Structure 1
Amino acid sequence: MLQRLVLCLALIFILAETAFNLYTEFSLQHSAKTVQFDSVAKPSFTIVLIPLDSRPPCIQFVEKLAALANISILTPPLELLDNYQTPAKIVELRTWLRQALQGANAAIISTDMLIHGGLIASRSSRGTQKDIADTLTLLEECHQANPSVELYVFNIIPRLLTADSNANAPYQLDMQKYSVLKDKVLTFENPNDIAELKLLEKSIPIDVIDNYLKRNQKSAEVSIELIKMTEKGIISGLIIGQDDCQPFGLPNIIKRQLEYFVDKHSGRIVTKLTNHKPQIFVQYSDADTAKIIMPYMPHSVAKTVEEKIGIIGGKQTFDRDKADFILFVQAIDLTAVIHYYPCS
């Protein structure tokens, strides 16, 4: 029962990030205490949460939704977390995590928070090799000290764009083209793409390209170590997500390489958290929604839904009557909105 609830909550945690721009009325105040429930019933489980960052979808959405399942979410004090471009206090966060796990049933942990200090900090790869080593060691020690507490970890493949900085600003669009072309050349080997890529490489400072490649390589190496820890049973569940991206780009190459690594070296690492495989009927807001490729996404809405259903071990059914529940999906095509409601 616990495993099923934690897995569903991990999915909620990821989906909530996508919903952030549609949600505008949540209070930005946050308490370090666990969620207070309206019900007099004592919370069934306690889950420690190290969020991706301090925004409402990463904390408050999870707290509110967990309350519906009578789950208590324990989050770090706000003063330890990031504040937009100010990174979290990662050393203090690691200490807090060690203490918080005592008496908890499970944990959902962002490695980007523990290594870099949050999502924005991860885009400039603020974490050092020591931060990476300390975080991986921390996860192993937390498992050894609390073997009954299941650790659900997620790591993020960096976004397509370079980090926002004065040094990168003049080359950000060229680096976006560079990243897209790297993927296209690897995929199609089109001579025109190869020629354009060579010209771009000559026009961009070598240190800008090197920093971009090193950022992605560092993240990939962390993911590989986490995969190994999952295989050893130190981590109960691992999700490797993607920051802002497009259908082509260097992050997509990294994703394919990680998939290959899992297949070749570890078999298919899939943690069977429950024997129950929920049947899910997907209802889109209209017929075209499934085909839309949303901004900052590498593929269609339908593919995104398929991946998220896979996270919880679910199976999509096309028979509404056989479904355990219906997943309603609405995605707005902004180009259509602009067409019907042109700016004056």
Structure 2
Amino acid sequence: MPLDERPCNYEFPFMLARGTDYTPERPPLDMMGRKKAPGDTSRLWAWLEQAAEGAHGAVLALDTLLYGGIVPSRLHGMHEEQVLERLTRLRGLKADHPGLRIYAFQLIMRCPQYSSAEEEPDYYEEWGREIFRKGFISHRKELGLAADDELAELEDIDLRLPPDVLDDYLGRRAINAAINRAALELVAEGVIEFLIIPQDDSAPYGYTARDQEEIRGRIADLELELRVYMYPGADEVGCTLLARMVNTDTGRIPLIYPRLSSLQGAFVTPLYEDRYFYESLKYQVLAAGGLIVPSAAEADMVLLVNMPGDTMSEAAVQRQPMAGYDVLRNIAELAEFGGYMLFHEGKPVAVADVGYANGGDLKLMRLLRQKNMLFSLAGYAGWNTSSNTLGTVLAQSMLFLHYGRTAGHLNFLALRYAEDVCYCSLVRTEMNNGVVESMGLSKFMLDGQRGQAAALIRTKLNQAIKERINGEDGRVEITDCFMPWNRTFEVGLAVSYHP
């Protein structure tokens, strides 16, 4: 049950599952809704109950079953009792199919730091920044950490922020948090075998952090710390839970040795997240069913981790000189170590490209290509947030340990290079820097999923792939290109690998 209809949620886990011993099923796309329009929850539940007949396991995005998707979970007008009634249907599902192993995830509602109604209620366009700052400063005030200028800012926000706007926002947050806690009861009862509570766009203080505190306390009360994980992420969790199911069913615990490009990288707090990188890495490996080990010799796989030496930046600005990237890390050593482990030691090697947010590292890609490593890797990802990348590459590479260098594996690698590197870091940046405006469009409103903008993007992608990816060990062919939400932020691609 995908989190929504975007390819990262609807396609990625399904693509990975097709390369396993399982026969994956997912609901038809027309049930899933689109962006702010919720999916048809009645049809989705009916589909789930039918698909559960004879099924071994289920990976369920509860936000889709409850609200119709990730964005509708931030917009709904339901009462707590209505949502709770939907959630408790899982008891009946488990009772009817006691052998069904349910792996589920349910988000803590996010609170973006900026004013935009793109994926939030309409009033967030005007009041989003103020809502975030009110929660952020109020939390710090409660902890005795707020500075005088923050307290003055809070007073100003209280004077300007309309009470009905705040009431609507906090009312929905309260409902969603109550349902988060109710899901824990289903874990305690054995209805849900394993639950992830990911945090989309998190911060160390504010409404989301407060909700975390309450949920963390309830997890402890129910003694569920080994069956419920809570950490930054969202769109990668379907892949993570698929990997966990495969590892659990086979009784295998993959041992991962992470090799970081920067000594200080472990202590960088990635953009849009709330903790040191290494703490999230540990959770991501655990959630997928693996463990971190201290040396390559004892590992099943080496994970090359590309990190900045200090503050993380957006991929769109990576061509600017920055000490955190040019001085305080060493990606040459990372590539050389990976090449040695791969070609001389015969150790599977994967790459978590989290040097930047929202796109792959062009310098690292150049080095990996020079060493002919691209299509010999166990996995690669470099998209969106650090946790989105980690969950994706860990799932792919752990499945590689089970099934090897299949055609599906190579196609997924090809997709990651086309999307994460060539689109996110190159073509999207170019389109957003005046190209879409010259077409009379905007990056938030294109001319349809398959309009002139999509056609131009495909042309530019083909050129970028030719220049940046294709080489002696393989080439990538685009077979489809569309814009799922009619904006430039994400692209829908179908690609194939050719030796």
TM range (shorter): 0.7 to 0.9
AA paired with 2:65? Answer: L
AA paired with 2:70? Answer: L
Map of 1:173 onto structure 2:
129
Residues 128-137 or 210-219, more deviating: 128-137
Structure 1 residue 313: Cα displacement: 4.8
Map of 1:186 onto structure 2:
142
For 1:221 and 1:132, the matched residues in 2 are separated by 10
Structure 1 residue 194: Cα displacement: 4.2
For 1:109 and 1:310, the matched residues in 2 are separated by 19
User: Mapping of 1:145-156 within 5 angstroms?
Assistant: 145-156=96-107
Contact kept? 1:231, 1:269, Cα under 8 Å:
no
AA paired with 2:13? Answer: V
Structure 1 residue 199: Cα displacement: 3.4
Map of 1:10 onto structure 2:
none
Contact kept? 2:271, 2:313, Cα under 8 Å:
no
Match of 1:268 among 200, 224, 232: 224
Structure 1 residue 104: Cα displacement: 0.7
Cα RMSD after superposing both structures: 2.6
User: Mapping of 1:1-344 within 5 angstroms?
Assistant: 50-161=1-112, 164-190=120-146, 192=148, 193-263=150-220, 265-271=221-227, 277-330=253-306, 333-334=312-313, 337-340=318-321
For 1:90 and 1:74, the matched residues in 2 are separated by 17
Q: In structure 2, list runs of 5 or more residues that go unmatched.
A: 229-247, 323-432, 434-499
Contact kept? 2:257, 2:303, Cα under 8 Å:
yes
Higher RCO (Cα < 8 Å, 6 or more apart): 1
Q: CA separation of 1:177/1:131 partners in 2, compared to 1, >3 Å: closer, same or farther?
A: same
Contact kept? 1:116, 1:126, Cα under 8 Å:
no
Structure 1 residue 54: Cα displacement: 0.9
Contact kept? 2:256, 2:300, Cα under 8 Å:
yes
Q: String of CA shifts for 1:104-130, please: whole Å, max 9, x gaps.
A: 100011111111111111122344435
Residues 144-153 or 311-320, more deviating: 311-320
Contact kept? 1:111, 1:135, Cα under 8 Å:
no
SS of equivalent to 2:23: strand
Structure 1 residue 297: Cα displacement: 1.7
Q: String of CA shifts for 1:245-303, please: whole Å, max 9, x gaps.
A: 2232210111122111111x212342495875443211234445433333322223222
Structure 1 residue 221: Cα displacement: 0.8
SS of equivalent to 1:213: helix
Query: How many equivalent pairs are there?
Result: 293
Residues 280-289 or 304-313, more deviating: 280-289
For 1:127 and 1:118, the matched residues in 2 are separated by 14
Q: CA separation of 1:276/1:338 partners in 2, compared to 1, >3 Å: closer, same or farther?
A: same
Q: String of CA shifts for 1:76-109, please: whole Å, max 9, x gaps.
A: 0111002222211111111111111001100011
Contact kept? 1:230, 1:269, Cα under 8 Å:
no
AA paired with 1:235? Answer: I
AA paired with 1:321? Answer: A
For 2:313 and 2:273, the matched residues in 1 are separated by 15
SS of equivalent to 1:240: strand
Contact kept? 1:320, 1:326, Cα under 8 Å:
yes
AA paired with 1:316? Answer: I
Q: CA separation of 1:188/1:276 partners in 2, compared to 1, >3 Å: closer, same or farther?
A: farther
Give TM-score, length-normalised by structure 1: 0.77
For 1:123 and 1:295, the matched residues in 2 are separated by 21
Contact kept? 1:157, 1:243, Cα under 8 Å:
yes
Contact kept? 2:80, 2:179, Cα under 8 Å:
no
Residues 247-256 or 222-231, more deviating: 247-256
For 2:151 and 2:76, the matched residues in 1 are separated by 28
Contact kept? 1:282, 1:316, Cα under 8 Å:
yes
For 2:55 and 2:75, the matched residues in 1 are separated by 33
Q: String of CA shifts for 1:169-216, please: whole Å, max 9, x gaps.
A: 221111121122123223344362445424322321112222222222
Residues 242-251 or 160-169, more deviating: 160-169
Contact kept? 2:58, 2:103, Cα under 8 Å:
yes
For 2:78 and 2:303, the matched residues in 1 are separated by 38
Contact kept? 2:137, 2:146, Cα under 8 Å:
no
Residues 128-137 or 187-196, more deviating: 187-196
Percent identity at matched positions?
Answer: 23
For 2:55 and 2:160, the matched residues in 1 are separated by 53
Give TM-score, length-normalised by structure 2: 0.54
Contact kept? 2:84, 2:179, Cα under 8 Å:
no
Residues 219-228 or 291-300, more deviating: 291-300
For 1:237 and 1:68, the matched residues in 2 are separated by 23
AA paired with 1:340? Answer: P
